[in-house]
Amino acid sequence: MKKKTLEDIQVNGKKVLVRVDFNVPVQDGKITDDNRIIQALPTIKYLLEENAKVILLSHLGRIKKEEDLENNSLKVVSERLSELLDKPVNFVPETRGELLEKAINDMKPKDIVMMENTRFEDLEGKKESKNDPDLGKYWASLGDLFVNDAFGTAHRAHASNVGIASRLETAAGFLMEKEIRYIGSTVENPERPFVAILGGAKVSDKIGVIENLLKIADKVLIGGGMTYTFMKAQGLNIGNSIVELDKVDLAKSLLEQANGKIILPLDFAVAEEFSADSPYRYTDYKGIKDNEEGLDIGPKTIKMFKKELKGAKTVVWNGPVGVFEFENFAKGTQAICEILANLEDTRTIIGGGDSAAAAIQMGFKEKFTHISTGGGASLQFLEGKELPGIESIDHSIDCGCEGSDCEC
């Protein structure tokens, strides 16, 4: 059923609480990647243009002890946002209290207030992360409407998303809407042929994703560290390659269920050491020696994957196909980026996490239909699970249909 979006709510002159995902990397007090702030700009700018009073909430990092407070203040983020918008952002260094309430009461339309990191509330009793009802109620009392644009935390039921949404009229922001449209609807109803590419370190992180994609995709191409658990399941020698021995039986059963849908690599870049400058060679899947480990897919695999991807109407990719952090072993991941960037009439979606980071780092940011901003959230979406942050957004009042058949 269609979710309420920004265009379905009347924001003029209203105090609009906006949950954004400003969980950006910060090193020595400096933001090293502001992509998440940039992704939230369309929603913030729209609300400002529509005369709303914009009250921003976000988490930053994890707060477990007193010392974490200093390194995880959102002040630095408020300064960057102010630069990007070229307008003042009133940062309030608390998550509740008189200062915050006064700042909000003094707001005029088009003003922005950003409160301190919502997870500062986790220091005592994990109030934010455990969706403490009093905290959700308090935050909801500060605004008239709620906009959830934080896809990155949509797989969690926290006070700053579900807690507020259950008490105020709630709409999806533009970023959230985009994530629902591209990942959610693709998984529900993909245009075919639908090919999935799965990589990354471990099978165990992606069991749910593999199982779900085996049901809905036409082909599942496997790369990365998880390959070797599947090869072990086939009785092949994998040398020192990364493997999860307790998942070999599971891999065996996935291969049986797959009915030929799972495509494993044909060859690998193998090295004797897990390091950036380790000498390496290419070998086929039967040639890995006991003292070698597979760190990337090889040229034959790239050629085969290219053939499998030709003509695909939908491609979803999650997880690098090699140790892309080392230049020598980033070639497979780079090749996948190039193949996808050159597909025509194909919806290409990268499901967050390391493959998104790799694609952006390698300069392919503009070449895909959609690069998800959520790692865990996009994985859960790909598993076909409901995300509490999305579930708690109101349904569109214009949508008269009921039930899961609704395609509004």
The residue among 147 and 382 lying less far from ligand AMP, judged by its C-beta, is 382
Half-sphere exposure for 61 (CA within 13 Å, toward CB): 19
The residue among 216 and 336 lying less far from ligand AMP, judged by its C-beta, is 336
323 contacts ligand AMP (rule: CB under 6 A):
yes
Can you tell me which of 353, 374, 388, 389 binds ligand AMP, judged by CB under 6 A? 353
267 contacts ligand AMP (rule: CB under 6 A):
no
Other residues' Cβ atoms within 10 Å of the Cβ of residue 333: 28
Binding segment toward ligand AMP, per CB under 6 A, in 20-28, 144-152, 167-175, 199-207: 199-207
319 contacts ligand AMP (rule: CB under 6 A):
yes
Task: Tell me the chain's radius of gyration from C-alpha atoms.
Answer: 23
200 contacts ligand AMP (rule: CB under 6 A):
yes
- The SS3 assignment for 144 reads coil
Residues 51 to 90 in contact with ligand AMP, rule: CB under 6 A: none
Residues 270 and 296 sit within 8 Å (Cβ to Cβ): no
Residues 27 and 86 sit within 8 Å (Cβ to Cβ): no
DSSP 78-119: HHHHHHHHTS--EEES-SSSHHHHHHHHT--TT-EEEES-GG
Half-sphere exposure for 145 (CA within 13 Å, toward CB): 23
Can you tell me which of 69, 76, 201, 341 binds ligand AMP, judged by CB under 6 A? 201
DSSP conformational letter for 161: I
- Least Å distance, CB 312 to ligand AMP, is 21
The residue among 110 and 202 lying less far from ligand AMP, judged by its C-beta, is 202
Active site residue 36: yes
CA distance 272 to 144: 61
Binding segment toward ligand AMP, per CB under 6 A, in 165-173, 255-263, 314-322, 334-342: 314-322
Active site residue 376: yes
Active site residue 353: yes
- Least Å distance, CB 356 to ligand AMP, is 10
Active site residue 62: no
294 contacts ligand AMP (rule: CB under 6 A):
yes
288 contacts ligand AMP (rule: CB under 6 A):
no
Residues 5 and 176 sit within 8 Å (Cβ to Cβ): no
- Least Å distance, CB 40 to ligand AMP, is 24
Catalytic residue among 75, 202, 306, 313: 202
DSSP 215-279: HH-SEEEE-STTHHHHHHHTT---TT----GGGHHHHHHHHHHHTT-EE--SEEEEESSSSTT--
Phi-psi region of 13 (alpha: psi -120 to 50; beta: other; left: phi over 0): left
Residues 378 and 355 sit within 8 Å (Cβ to Cβ): no
- Give the number of residues in contact with ligand AMP, rule: CB under 6 A: 18
The residue among 118 and 373 lying less far from ligand AMP, judged by its C-beta, is 373
Residues 20 and 152 sit within 8 Å (Cβ to Cβ): no
- Least Å distance, CB 199 to ligand AMP, is 6
Q: At 238, which amino acid appears? A: I
Residues 39 and 175 sit within 8 Å (Cβ to Cβ): yes
242 contacts ligand AMP (rule: CB under 6 A):
yes
Can you tell me which of 34, 169, 205, 218 binds ligand AMP, judged by CB under 6 A? 205
Residues 208 to 237 in contact with ligand AMP, rule: CB under 6 A: 224-225
295 contacts ligand AMP (rule: CB under 6 A):
yes
Catalytic residue among 4, 14, 19, 36: 36
The CB-nearest residue to ligand AMP is 200
* Binding region for ligand AMP (CB under 6 A): 199-202, 205, 224-225, 242, 294-295, 319-320, 322-325, 353-354
Positions marked catalytic: 36, 202, 353, 376
